[in-house]
Amino acid sequence: METVAHPAAFSPAQARELFRGGTSRPTTGWCGGFTQANLITVPADWAYDVLLFCQRNPKPCPVLDVTDPGSWSTALAPGADLRTDVPRYRVWEHGRLIDEPTDVVGHWREDLVTFLIGCSFTFETALAEAGVPLRHVDQGHNVAMYRSSRACRPAGRLHGPMVVTMRPIPADLVDTATRVSERMPAVHGGPVHTGDPAALGIEDLARPDFGDPVEAEAGDVPVFWACGVTPQAALMASRPPFAITHAPGYMLITDARDSDYRVGWRAE
Amino acid sequence: METVAHPAAFSPAQARELFRGGTSRPTTGWCGGFTQANLITVPADWAYDVLLFCQRNPKPCPVLDVTDPGSWSTALAPGADLRTDVPRYRVWEHGRLIDEPTDVVGHWREDLVTFLIGCSFTFETALAEAGVPLRHVDQGHNVAMYRSSRACRPAGRLHGPMVVTMRPIPADLVDTATRVSERMPAVHGGPVHTGDPAALGIEDLARPDFGDPVEAEAGDVPVFWACGVTPQAALMASRPPFAITHAPGYMLITDARDSDYRVGWRAE
């Protein structure tokens, strides 16, 4: 990147332009205050199963937008091209990863429906504003994600475990982090668990299933939130003939403000 | 009804048993603290359009549950029978009302998918607890509902205006009513408009499109909320070959607690 600005200060349009040009970075910490989204693109005959899976599992799968078949635009980011503006994609055939390109123009089809799903990066701005440190951002890492032992409610051909993100939080700030994120139900809401990885069937925090491991500091407690990679994991397990997703941590940055997804904020 | 208890004190199971037996009343004010739901039942090949319409219009159409095809049970009310436990149904063919029975056992089909959609009655308990009077309940009426001039975002074959409920609220309690309902985004959230019916294209408050007119008291201001009848109105306008809905105001009473749909309540 030739730019001198810190990614947190980029506008979403600037970030998307960089990604459209081929830049490929995890987007945690980018474009402070703007909503990031998970992307899932499936043939139209799989769209009902995906939408129903999300409806039945709203905590990990909050749907922010759904396109009409073949469309690559979204109301959440006017001018964006969903085929090029995510920093890294994954292309799947029958559940097998066949490509990890920085655009999917060559893979596009007329029958594709795209789901944009809320991301816990959205509440990170609110956490930071409340004085909660974000260890993975400070360490320059992607967030750590794990398949948990909690089963999602199945829908049609889709079933699978809840995927969670983990953030080490200083013990005296866990309540603040909980309260702040609870106010954002459209982007995963409050933690699903605090404290014991084994309670979620996670054996080793140092070996996440997606993203990077994160180093805790003394006095930190692991706090787990539902993760928007959940529907992607369920979809892949059911092996649709074709699908496109973002690469975990490489999100679509929208023009929606994180604050749009806060509930009852003015009462504080 | 032989019972002596006030309907507000009934348990949801007691109310459903009455309705299963043929009792047919609007459910406003019934089973205080329990969530009521709008019902829409369509053939499976219409289910995606309904679900997508709801996703794109979450304020009037918050989806609380979706059944599998042919099923008449819901996780929100174990033991309930969706074919009998609503106090009055409407049966539609090609957008035309053909029957208003108290059960739909004879109309049931294996390919039917049922949507349960949030209802503003759910936040009425919270309003009452906050000291906001509910004029229609005091007057023994169904709530007043109007087709507004605000268009919903279309989805597939479904399009139509937002339907709204109106409650006359004492001017000095409008802020309280707004704050309380904003905290319940899963059941319509805060008002869509306060004050001027004409701003929503409503010409005469005394002539609602659904439900009963309600008498305002001196100093009351009309406050409008998005209404769960919205997807029903859109569906009927698109004339599916077959559909079942509840009759407006005659809701399914679930075992879910209204408080389950409150966000960030503990911070008060």
Complex ipTM: 0.79
Q: Is residue A27 part of a domain?
A: yes
Give contacts of B63 with chain A, Cβ < 8 Å: 55
Question: Residue A53, Cα to own-chain centre: how many angstroms?
Answer: 16
A115 and A242 inside one domain: yes
- What mean pLDDT comes out for the span B180-208? 92
- Rg, Å, chain B Cα set: 17
Q: Is residue B72 part of a domain?
A: yes
Q: Is residue B133 part of a domain?
A: yes
CATH (domain of B141): 3.30.2040.10
Supply the pLDDT for residue A124. 87
- What mean pLDDT comes out for the span B252-267? 71
Question: Which DSSP state fits B203?
Answer: -
The CA distance from B24 to the nearest CA of chain A, in Å, is 30
Is pLDDT at A38 greater than 70 in this prediction?
Answer: yes
B18 and B116 inside one domain: yes
Q: Is residue A97 part of a domain?
A: yes
For tokens 């945690």, the residue is A28
Supply the pLDDT for residue B87. 97
Supply the pLDDT for residue B140. 87
Q: What is the 3-state secondary structure (H, E, C) of chain A?
A: CCCCCCHHHCCHHHHHHHHHCCCCCCCCCCCCCEEEEEEEEEEHHHHHHHHHHHHHCCCCCCEEEECCCCCCCCCCCCCCCCCCCCCCEEEEECCEEEECCCCCHHHCCCCEEEEEEECCHHHHHHHHHCCCCCHHHHCCCCCEEEEEEEECCCECCECCEEEEEEEEEEHHHHHHHHHHHHCCHHHCCCCCEECCHHHHCCCCCCCCCEECCCCCCCCEEEEEEECCCHHHHHHHHCCCCCEEEECCCCCEEEEEEHHHHCCCHHHC
Q: How many domains does chain A have?
A: 2
A255 and A127 inside one domain: no
More confident residue, B65 or A263: B65
Supply the pLDDT for residue A32. 84
A79 and A125 inside one domain: no
Q: Is residue A1 part of a domain?
A: no
Q: Is residue A217 part of a domain?
A: yes
B133 and B180 inside one domain: yes
A116 and A246 inside one domain: yes
User: What's this model's pTM, rounded to 2 decimal places?
Assistant: 0.84
Give contacts of A261 with chain B, Cβ < 8 Å: none
Question: Which DSSP state fits B158?
Answer: B
- What range does the domain containing B37 cover? 9-120+238-267
More confident residue, B261 or A74: A74
B191 and B108 inside one domain: no
Supply the pLDDT for residue A202. 97
The CA distance from B30 to the nearest CA of chain A, in Å, is 27
Give contacts of A49 with chain B, Cβ < 8 Å: none
- What mean pLDDT comes out for the span A206-223? 95
B114 and B17 inside one domain: yes
Q: Is residue B32 part of a domain?
A: yes
B136 and B86 inside one domain: no
CA-based nearest residue to B148, from B88, B102, B98, B210: B210
A70 and A197 inside one domain: no
Is pLDDT at A262 greater than 80 in this prediction?
Answer: no
Supply the pLDDT for residue B3. 45
A268 contacts chain B (CB < 8 A): yes
Q: How confident is the model at residue A248 (pLDDT cuts 50, 70, 90)?
A: confident
Q: How confident is the model at residue A258 (pLDDT cuts 50, 70, 90)?
A: confident
CATH (domain of B81): 3.40.1640.10
Supply the pLDDT for residue A263. 59
